[in-house]
Structure 1
Amino acid sequence: MIGRRSLLAAGAAAMAAPALAQPRPNELAPLALPVKQDDTVARGYRRDVMMRWGDRVTFDAPRWMPRTPDPDAAGAQFGWDARVVGIAVPQQPAADGIARAVLAVTHPTVDPAMAFPGGQDLPAAAAAMQGASLLNLEKQGGRWVVVDGGYQSRRLGGSTLCRLSGGAGVRGLLGLSGGCVTPWGTLLLAEGDPAPWQARLGGLDPAFADGGGFGFVAELNPFDPQSVPAKRRALGRLAHGDVAATLSRDGRAVVYMTDRRIGGFVFRFVSAGPAAGEDALETGRLFVARLEGDRLSWLPLPEGAPPLSGAQAAGGSPFDTPSGLGLDPMGPRLLLACHGSPARPSGHVLEFSADGGDDGAEGASARLLFAAGDPRGPQARYGGLGLPPGSAWPENPHTVAVDALGRAWIGTDRGGRIGPQAEGLYCCDLAGPARGVPVPIYGAPRGASVGGAALTPDGETLFTGIRHPGAEPGASFERPGTRWPEFQPGVPPRSVLAALVRVGGGPVGG
């Protein structure tokens, strides 16, 4: 794992990093996040429920029947879990002048204890409940909404037909975790560790038991509902946490990936040719990150070596469960959310600025944005004057996104474990006097985690996923920790796609 000395050195180098475009400071006020059955929203903001587990995604989806789950129905409905991974915007505006986009949400997990009556696993239904939802967005009356049964809305899951590099067919996307929208107009969806799903679904189909077709990054066109996801072998097979894509200065595709394990690696793929080609991710080179003090180097993997053994052979650095990735649209800056490890249980967020402003360069400068946890503890480290009095603090950062104003949005995930405060979505400036000071805008209900963030092109709506509410240790379908968001007797809690907006209008965060 990255040593504490390296983290401190990276933090000490904060003032020596190359200058980037100056972002706008956020205007959020201190906010406490008490543990409660309902959620918490910052003053001056409103939380709207856009989609819930079981709501229809495709136009022909049947009504949600949580006590009698059906695989065919679940395959057309919003999944059990929810993590926002990105918003794709059409390159050409619509002829009618209406702003439109496609929002991608993954459904990484399905907990049998919480998803099914009596806690008895139903593997076929679980395979349909996981995967991803692509949702049409429109701006109507000054407000972004999800279009019910939109043309490009679709569900991806265990029965989705895909292709592997080389043309081989494979059925199913399993354990999708992170994802991103690429500068060349496609959507990348990263499969996590396939082993739990192999064990769970092996009795349904020998292809699931084999597992050789899973653990990849899949690419598709989010605007074409007939687009077949292509699993890119060149990007490697591993238990992905997240993926982020950009361009090198000479126009090649650059894809960053995390290996979400304690002691996992951070990878970079650089395509052999320009990103404009349909199969640009079919050929290229894999690199692994090596972090030494305030410097990060990209080391090429041995030709033909599997990613994990190749990374170890190349001398890659193990990280503290590398999870979320976020690229700054204002400059060549990559943020990495490390979930934590036994040595540093609360996690931290690192920042890498590519040498010469080129994501295809051989190295980058490294800085610590903040070390998470109780500010009174020995390992926490925040910027400026520290956290404002009375405000919550992040633990176990899991997702990170950077908006067009140069501010990071960080979601936390303790896996349902109840702590001294609720899980939160935090905004953190990347420059100025409040750099490295995360301030919450939202607190999740009891047992829930925060799954990602994505802002609309105008910056006036922030979409986030509220994951598995009520799923604390010992909870069940019949006895959840909360029945949020409906609070109706007998209705289980539901993961939610939520929208955060300013009550008076304007950009989220100020």
Structure 2
Amino acid sequence: MTCEYRCGDACFHEVPNTSGNPYFGDLFTRRAALKAGAVVAAAATVGLPATAAAQEASGHRPPKGLNFKPVQPNTQDAVVVPEGYEQGIVIRWGDPLFPGVPQFDFDNQTAAKQAEQFGFNCDFAAMLPLDHLGLTNLMVTNHEYTSEPFMFKGYSSANPTREQVEIAWAAHGLSVFMVKRTPHSGQLKPAFSKYNRRITLHTEFEVRGPAAGSALLKTSVDPTGTKVFGTMNNCSGGVTPWGTILSGEENFNQYFANAGPLNDPRLARYGITGTATGRKWERFDKRFDLAQEPNEANRFGWVIELDPNDPDSTPVKHTHLGRFKHETANVRIARDGRVVAYSGDDERFEYIYKFISNGKVRKGDSRSARRHNMTLLDDGTLYVAKFTGDSPPAEIDGTGKLPSDGQFDGSGEWIPLASGKKSFVPGMTAEEVYVFTRIAADKVGATKMDRPEDIECHPHTGRVYCALSNNVERGNAGKEGATEPNPRLQNRHGQVLELAERRDDALSLTFRWDLFLVCGDPKSPDTYFGGYDKSQVSPISSPDNVAFDPHGNLWISTDSAGALNGLNDGLYGVPLEGRERGHLKLFLTVPKGAETCGPIIGERVITVCVQHPGEVDGASADNPASHWPDGGSSQPRPSVVAVWKRGHRQLDEIG
């Protein structure tokens, strides 16, 4: 059910990447690969941390921020938190964001109401403080997709009504709203404010960057190719150093009908195939019918930028970051003031990208500084990653067995695709590179990865961490086999990639990498936890989002669909340094059928988005499998949850 509505059953369709570009590590002998890796390593002053394999775990004090007793994996219809912690609902699907908006009524929902209420299936979340104590904040959340059978009783997928479709349009997008924290607890409550805003499929966006105005983006509604209405399937995102929000448009392909008769391989490369769509939106708006608007699909699949401090501002779609199924984009400031953005393409055998700006950050939080900084992603160079393993190919046998050097690791480089109006890809113009970025990456031989999801930069070390969710197609007939960065065949559980760029310089075009985690059941021989004693760690499958706490620990949320014996998804914390490196602990679990999304790891409060609770096969609004968060016989509602340590006079730190 989740697969059908979130990504259009992507995993049940043929993989869109049919390119034959070889894995870079297979092109060299071990001696050549080690020599190449040694050159990169010798140039680096900041390398990857040593493993903790020989360290004795018992008796060590947990690192600051991780001093909690892990919860046990479970199948409860509840959010389960550690002993000594409390929780509270921040906001639920349908809660009003503006004065005078009626309270949510499941059986009497309308599109007009939904456009002023919290949207469906919250994913990424960010919290921006409005005071130095963090008592008043702006929260921004994505609403990735709609699950119509869980939104409407008696829903007919063959014949949805116009009102149901328009409710779904209004339930997509983003929500911006004020939240206030109780001074002596972690409870967060939404409040009406001048900042509150809903972004839906009717909101106007400005198209910017070198592909703006391209003939590939023009439609009958927008003959200029510079204005798009709406954003869809927004998955993860990030907060820029200048206080705006980046959000990635991911599985946009499933919303567009009648691609088959066009017989355009560029559409097929993005998984846009067939005739009618599952939601049937093409019946109600011609822009979802490619037979009538063949360029409309090209107007989605971008990174958007939103200024939550200015509710009247027009959000932007940045074409220089390329068009693909963006899980996210996250920004790091280089030493010279330029900005670097990292992004993953969340599909099997897709790629990891990097953008380096030409312009530099202007300091300060004035409106003029923010406006300047919002142009930085419109001018620079777009790159794609190529990885090399440092082990003989024979040692990467697909079982997940560690090679003789004790780690899955190696070196890599960033291959340029385009800069401004200049293309570096033979046979493609710069505009074509930006609009059909997947094809450009195919041509330069980028490394196929196991669903690159969230990518975040460590706030202290500058290392880059990427969640590679899974890839059950790896090694199947006609598909690429095991590679050192993707070392398991039929990979169900995923891995977490750790990348250190030369001299900790974000502008570097070479890097070292290793797999920090190879996920799954710790009892299985094909798992690895940073070298830590596997008998002491929590099981984990399908890492999705990554985040950092103020102490530099990594936190990981999962989207496993019960891949580990049907257990619920959760949020995990793990140290990256010292003798506890790799000691993964489960902090909370979400209700059955739900996915853990958008973690915000504060000093005293953690929030997560609980997406699609109760969304299991056979369930629907007529037969709910969950009653979270309201209990009783209520319908499940995607919601944001806050968790804090139980305290007395003063709110304690999380761990």
The TM-score normalised by the length of structure 2 is: 0.71
> Which among 623, 635, 643 is matched to residue 479 of structure 1?
623
Aligned AA for 2:444?
A
- Matched with 1:154 is 197
2:339 pairs with 1:281: no
Q: Once the 2 structures are TM-superposed, how far is the Cα of residue 286 of structure 1 from its aligned partner?
A: 0.6
SS at match of 2:529: coil
- Indicate if the aligned counterparts of 1:416 and 1:473 stay in contact, CA closer than 8 A: no
Q: Distance in 2 between matches of 1:84 and 1:125?
A: 21
SS at match of 1:344: coil
> Which among 188, 195, 211 is matched to residue 246 of structure 2?
188
Aligned AA for 1:72?
A
Question: Structure 1 or 2: larger helix share?
Answer: 2
- Matched with 2:79 is 39
- Matched with 1:57 is 97
2:385 pairs with 1:299: no
Q: Once the 2 structures are TM-superposed, how far is the Cα of residue 38 of structure 1 from its aligned partner?
A: 2.3
Q: Distance in 1 between matches of 2:202 and 2:569?
A: 33
> Which among 332, 351, 356 is matched to residue 246 of structure 1?
332
Question: Structure 1 or 2: larger strand share?
Answer: 1
Aligned length: 494
Q: Distance in 2 between matches of 1:185 and 1:124?
A: 31
- Matched with 2:611 is 467
Q: Once the 2 structures are TM-superposed, how far is the Cα of residue 452 of structure 1 from its aligned partner?
A: 2.1
Q: Distance in 2 between matches of 1:228 and 1:113?
A: 33
2:497 pairs with 1:497: no
Aligned AA for 1:471?
E
Cα 1:506–1:327 change in 2 (3 A) is farther
Cα 1:4–1:401 change in 2 (3 A) is farther
> Which among 343, 346, 349 is matched to residue 257 of structure 1?
343
Q: Once the 2 structures are TM-superposed, how far is the Cα of residue 500 of structure 1 from its aligned partner?
A: 1.0
Q: Distance in 1 between matches of 2:85 and 2:347?
A: 36
Cα 1:71–1:383 change in 2 (3 A) is same
Q: Distance in 2 between matches of 1:177 and 1:47?
A: 24
- Indicate if the aligned counterparts of 1:216 and 1:232 stay in contact, CA closer than 8 A: yes
Q: Distance in 1 between matches of 2:49 and 2:564?
A: 40
> Which among 450, 465, 471 is matched to residue 320 of structure 1?
450
- Matched with 2:528 is 381
Q: Deviations over 1:347-386 (max 9, x none)?
A: 0111112221221211222121111111122321123443
2:237 pairs with 1:179: yes
Q: Distance in 2 between matches of 1:474 and 1:113?
A: 10
Q: Deviations over 1:146-188 (max 9, x none)?
A: 3322221211111111111148221111111111100122211
Q: Distance in 2 between matches of 1:18 and 1:350?
A: 11
- Indicate if the aligned counterparts of 1:188 and 1:218 stay in contact, CA closer than 8 A: yes
Cα 1:4–1:250 change in 2 (3 A) is closer
Greater mean alpha carbon deviation, residues 222-231 or residues 161-170:
161-170
Q: Distance in 1 between matches of 2:598 and 2:412?
A: 25
Aligned AA for 2:382?
L
List alignment gaps of at least 5 residues for structure 1.
Answer: none
Q: Distance in 1 between matches of 2:241 and 2:554?
A: 19
Identity fraction in percent: 26
2:314 pairs with 1:228: yes
Computed over aligned residues only, the root mean square deviation of the Cα atoms, in angstroms, reads 2.6
Paired residues for 1:3-18 under 5 Å = 17-18=47-48
Cα 1:174–1:281 change in 2 (3 A) is same
Paired residues for 1:98-497 under 5 Å = 99-120=135-156, 121=160, 122-143=164-185, 145-165=188-208, 166=212, 168-198=226-256, 199=277, 200=279, 201-209=281-289, 210-276=296-362, 277=372, 278-293=374-389, 294-302=410-418, 303=423, 304=430, 305=433, 306-342=436-472, 343-388=490-535, 392-415=538-561, 419-456=565-602, 459-489=603-633, 491-497=634-640
Greater mean alpha carbon deviation, residues 165-174 or residues 74-83:
165-174
Q: Deviations over 1:44-84 (max 9, x none)?
A: 11121111111112334322121232111111111221113
Q: Deviations over 1:390-431 (max 9, x none)?
A: x64111111111122111111111246783422111001111
Q: Distance in 2 between matches of 1:206 and 1:397?
A: 37
SS at match of 2:514: strand
Cα 1:507–1:326 change in 2 (3 A) is farther
- Matched with 2:407 is none
- Indicate if the aligned counterparts of 2:604 and 2:653 stay in contact, CA closer than 8 A: yes
Cα 1:495–1:285 change in 2 (3 A) is same
List alignment gaps of at least 5 residues for structure 2.
Answer: 1-21, 29-33, 51-62, 214-225, 257-276, 290-295, 363-371, 390-409, 424-429, 473-489
- Indicate if the aligned counterparts of 2:466 and 2:546 stay in contact, CA closer than 8 A: yes
Q: Deviations over 1:80-108 (max 9, x none)?
A: 21113322345xx57xx774332221111
Aligned AA for 1:28?
F
- Indicate if the aligned counterparts of 2:387 and 2:411 stay in contact, CA closer than 8 A: yes
- Indicate if the aligned counterparts of 1:241 and 1:258 stay in contact, CA closer than 8 A: yes
> Which among 127, 132, 135 is matched to residue 87 of structure 1?
127
- Indicate if the aligned counterparts of 1:416 and 1:448 stay in contact, CA closer than 8 A: no
The TM-score normalised by the length of structure 1 is: 0.90
SS at match of 2:344: strand
Q: Once the 2 structures are TM-superposed, how far is the Cα of residue 225 of structure 1 from its aligned partner?
A: 1.0
Q: Distance in 2 between matches of 1:315 and 1:366?
A: 18
Q: Distance in 1 between matches of 2:134 and 2:553?
A: 27
Q: Distance in 1 between matches of 2:169 and 2:527?
A: 39
- Matched with 1:26 is 66
Q: Once the 2 structures are TM-superposed, how far is the Cα of residue 226 of structure 1 from its aligned partner?
A: 1.0
Q: Distance in 2 between matches of 1:98 and 1:39?
A: 24
SS at match of 1:207: helix
Q: Distance in 2 between matches of 1:375 and 1:175?
A: 33
